[in-house]
C-alpha cells in the first residue's frame, strides 16, 4: 500500500541508490513494486544484472501521462511501492509527490546541494497546498563520511531544523557496498565479501534508514486519521 518516492531536482545525489536500498530491504519480508520513473531506467538495469529478489517487480514504462495510473495500480497490488524519479523538476515528479505517503529527499552535505534540496521541499509544500493534505517528507543526507562530520553538514542540519524540516537521523554513508550493488546486481546481502569490504556495516546502515522510513510512514498514517 504505502508509496515512497525519492525526489530531488539534482542528479547524482543518491536517489536511485537510496530507492534501491529501500526496495531490497523491504523485499526481505514483503512484495515491493518499484516504479522506475527515470527515463534512463537505472533500477531496471540493476535488476537485469543478477537475480533480482523474487519479491521485487519493476515497472519501467512509467511516464508523465501514465505515472498516476502506474502508482495506483501498484499500490493496489503490493504492500510497498517505491518510486525513483529522474533528477529534474518535471510534472512526473510533481505527480509522484502527490501520490506518495512518504517523500524522501536525498541530498549530499554541501550548501549547493542543500539549495537543490530546498527546491524539492518547496515543490512538496506546493503539492501539499494543492492537494490540501500533509505529505510526509524528510531529507536524507547521503554519501556522508561515517567518521568525520564536516562543519557544512552541521550547518545544513541546523538550517533544516530551524525551518522545521524533518531530517532522517540516519545518514547513508559513502560506502563501497552501495556502489557494488550496481556493479554486480543483487542485494547487499548477496555481495561477495571477498570482493567488497564492510558489507555488514552497509547492511546495518541501510536497515536503520528503512526502519526510520517505516516509523515516518506510521506517523503519517496517524496524522491522516486525525485529519479525517
- Decide whether 16 or 100 has the Cβ nearer to Mg ion: 16
Per partner kind, with CB cut-offs from 5 to 8 A, the member of Mg ion, ligand ADP, none near residue 136 is: none
The least distance separating Mg ion from the CB of residue 96, rounded to whole angstroms, comes to: 13
The least distance separating ligand ADP from the CB of residue 175, rounded to whole angstroms, comes to: 5
Residue 53 binds ligand ADP (CB under 6 A):
no
Total site size for ligand ADP, rule CB under 6 A? 16
Contact residue for ligand ADP among 67, 118, 140, 172 (CB under 6 A): 172
C-alpha of 139 from chain center: 10
Is the C-alpha dihedral spanning 162, 165, 168, 172 positive or negative? Answer: negative
| Cell, residue 70 | 502506474
Helices and strands: H and E segment counts in the chain = 8, 7
The cell 522506475 sits on which residue? 36
Of 33, 224, 35, 213, the residue nearest 137 (C-alpha): 213
Instruction: Give the Å distances, CA to CA, from 5 to 75, 80, 98, 110, 155.
Output: 12, 11, 10, 22, 26
Residue 43 binds ligand ADP (CB under 6 A):
no
Residue 70 binds ligand ADP (CB under 6 A):
no
Is the C-alpha dihedral spanning 46, 106, 188, 67 positive or negative? Answer: negative
Residue 16 binds ligand ADP (CB under 6 A):
yes
| Cell, residue 195 | 570482493
- Decide whether 206 or 220 has the Cβ nearer to ligand ADP: 206
Residue 134 binds ligand ADP (CB under 6 A):
no
- Decide whether 12 or 150 has the Cβ nearer to ligand ADP: 12
The least distance separating ligand ADP from the CB of residue 30, rounded to whole angstroms, comes to: 23
Residue 73 binds ligand ADP (CB under 6 A):
no
The interface region with ligand ADP, picked from 58-66, 73-81, 93-101, 176-184 by CB under 6 A, is 176-184
Identify the three-state secondary structure at position 186. Answer: coil
Q: Which residues bind to Mg ion, rule: CB under 5 A? A: 15-16
Amino acid at each position: 500500500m504505502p508509496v515512497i518516492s525519492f525526489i530531488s531536482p539534482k542528479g547524482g545525489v543518491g536517489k536511485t541508490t537510496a530507492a534501491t536500498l529501500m526496495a531490497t530491504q523491504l523485499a526481505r519480508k514483503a512484495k515491493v513494486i518499484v516504479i522506475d520513473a527515470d527515463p534512463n531506467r537505472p533500477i531496471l538495469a540493476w535488476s537485469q544484472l543478477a537475480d533480482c529478489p523474487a519479491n521485487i517487480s519493476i515497472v519501467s514504462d512509467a511516464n508523465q501521462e501514465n505515472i498516476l495510473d502506474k502508482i495506483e495500480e501498484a499500490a493496489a497490488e503490493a504492500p510497498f511501492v517505491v518510486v525513483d524519479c529522474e533528477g529534474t523538476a518535471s510534472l512526473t515528479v510533481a505527480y509522484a509527490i502527490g501520490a506518495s505517503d512518504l517523500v524522501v529527499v536525498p541530498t549530499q552535505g554541501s550548501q549547493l546541494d542543500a539549495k537543490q534540496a530546498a527546491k524539492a521541499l518547496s515543490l512538496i509544500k506546493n503539492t501539499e497546498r494543492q492537494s490540501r493534505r500533509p505529505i510526509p517528507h524528510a531529507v536524507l543526507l547521503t554519501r556522508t563520511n561515517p567518521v568525520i562530520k564536516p562543519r557544512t553538514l552541521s550547518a545544513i542540519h541546523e538550517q533544516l531544523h530551524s525551518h522545521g524540516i524533518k531530517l532522517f537521523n540516519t545518514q547513508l554513508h559513502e560506502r563501497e557496498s552501495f556502489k557494488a550493488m550496481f556493479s554486480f546486481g543483487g542485494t547487499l546481502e548477496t555481495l561477495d565479501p571477498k570482493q567488497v569490504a564492510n558489507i555488514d556495516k552497509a547492511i546495518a546502515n541501510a536497515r536503520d534508514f528503512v526502519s526510520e522510513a517505516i516509523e515516518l510512514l506510521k506517523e503519517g498514517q496517524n496524522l491522516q486519521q486525525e485529519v479525517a
